[in-house]
């Protein structure tokens, strides 16, 4: 496996120089952040991003993400224009030698948490999801901002989107996803890009909005839409593992054997309720995910793709983007690499 690190470009307070100093670090996961959703990512911007990363002694391993426009998810008549733009972005990425793209198909909101600075027993702070707190929130109030949300929506824009999604049931959302996949994957094959859909985070409905990339059955349904290794998965331990009914290690082995694991997010969560969890240190004993078994599973099917330590705690007084500090994610990267080395040597 190839260790990578999420970096948010020039606006990121963490420098590429510091990331390079993490033992075993090989690549960067980033994106073009200043182009509106639905527009083509310009070739020049991709080249500039890649060059900046390479000048720092690293490689641009994964684009996370190329966002899917809401009109595609809603199945609107304008979707073909946005799908063609998406395909053109893939062609530009291919020209730059980028072979993995992470994306999601979540209506309206990206990953969602109820609090960004929950104090853990060790004094660090972490992102958490508390079902009781979420149920009290009104996303259409115009005042609510949560970690992982797109803050560019206006109150009126959000209301319009919520109204649009009232007419989209689960069958229709699957149909819209199928339409997108069957249009995009032939281009991904031509350009030799491994697409990696990210599970919903958390893997259940949010404010009444549907979530369908949530469990083993639905992941299986997804990969069967288009039979190709290019139509693959981002296996995120924290997202899928937030549901106690998901056996993440079993899922990882199952889809790994099918050659559909194209990217891995390693994050630990501590389950504290039916639909409540706290993000935790990567160490297995700190959360509900056995990270040793996760890395052992990756080793079992010879995974050679990118992996990144996902959200970390904020420790040692570090400030910045919650969940995306340097220190705890660096510790996570070293821990994951240590597990992999130990498992590899034990199997020689």
- What are the catalytic residues? 198, 236, 265, 310-311, 324
Provide the angle, in degrees to the nearest 10, between the axes of the packed helices 170-190 and 216-223.
Answer: 50
| 3-state secondary structure labels for all residues of the chain | CEEEEECCHHHCCCCHHHHHCCCCCCEEEECCCCCCCCCCCCHHHHHHHHHHHHHCCCEEEEEECCCCCHHHHHCCCCHHHHHHHHHHHHHHHHHCCCCEEEECCCCCCCCCCCEEEEECCCCCEEEEECHHHHHCCCCCCCCCCCCCCCCCCCHHHHHHHHHHHCCCCHHHHHHHHHHHHHHHHHHHHHCCCEEEECCCCCCCCECCECCCCCCHHHHHHHHCCCCCCCEEEEEEHHHHCCCCCCCHHHHHHHHHHCCCEEEEEECEEEEEECCEEEEECCCHHHCCCCHHHHHHHHHHCCCCCEEEECCCCECCCCCCCCCCCCHHHHHHHHHHHHHHHHHHHHCC
R_g (Cα) of the chain, nearest Å: 19
């Amino acid at each position: 496996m190839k260790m990578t690190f999420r970096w948010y470009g020039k606006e990121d307070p963490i420098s590429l120089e510091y990331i390079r100093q993490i033992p075993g670090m090989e690549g960067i996961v980033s994106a073009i952040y200043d182009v509106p959703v639905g527009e083509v990512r310009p070739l020049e911007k991709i080249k500039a991003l890649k060059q900046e990363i390479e000048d720092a002694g690293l490689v641009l391993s994964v684009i996370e993400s190329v966002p899917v426009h809401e009109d595609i998810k809603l199945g609107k008549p304008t979707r073909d224009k946005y799908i063609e733009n998406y395909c053109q972005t893939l062609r530009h990425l291919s020209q730059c030698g980028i072979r993995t793209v992470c994306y999601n198909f979540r209506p309206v909101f990206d990953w969602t948490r109820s609090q960004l600075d929950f104090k853990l027993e060790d004094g660090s702070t972490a992102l958490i999801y508390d079902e009781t707190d979420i149920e009290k929130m009104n996303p259409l109030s115009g005042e609510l901002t949560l970690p992982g949300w797109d803050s560019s929506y206006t109150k009126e824009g959000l209301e319009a989107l919520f109204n649009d999604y009232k007419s989209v049931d689960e069958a229709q959302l699957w149909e819209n996803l199928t339409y997108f996949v069957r249009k995009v994957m032939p281009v991904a094959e031509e350009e030799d890009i491994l697409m990696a859909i990210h599970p919903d985070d958390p893997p259940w409905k949010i404010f009444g909005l549907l979530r369908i990339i949530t469990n083993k059955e639905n992941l299986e349904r997804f990969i069967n839409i288009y039979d190709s290794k290019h139509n693959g998965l981002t296996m995120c331990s924290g997202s899928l593992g937030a549901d106690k009914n998901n056996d993440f290690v079993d899922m990882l082995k199952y889809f790994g054997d099918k050659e559909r694991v194209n990217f891995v997010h390693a994050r630990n969560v501590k389950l504290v309720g039916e639909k409540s969890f706290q993000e935790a240190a990567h160490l297995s004993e700190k959360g509900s995910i056995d990270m040793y078994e996760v890395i052992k599973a990756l080793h079992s099917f010879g995974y050679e793709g990118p992996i990144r330590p996902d959200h970390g705690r904020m420790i040692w007084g570090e400030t910045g983007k919650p969940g995306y500090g340097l220190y705890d994610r660096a510790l996570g990267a070293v821990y994951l690499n240590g597990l992999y080395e130990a498992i590899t040597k034990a199997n020689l």
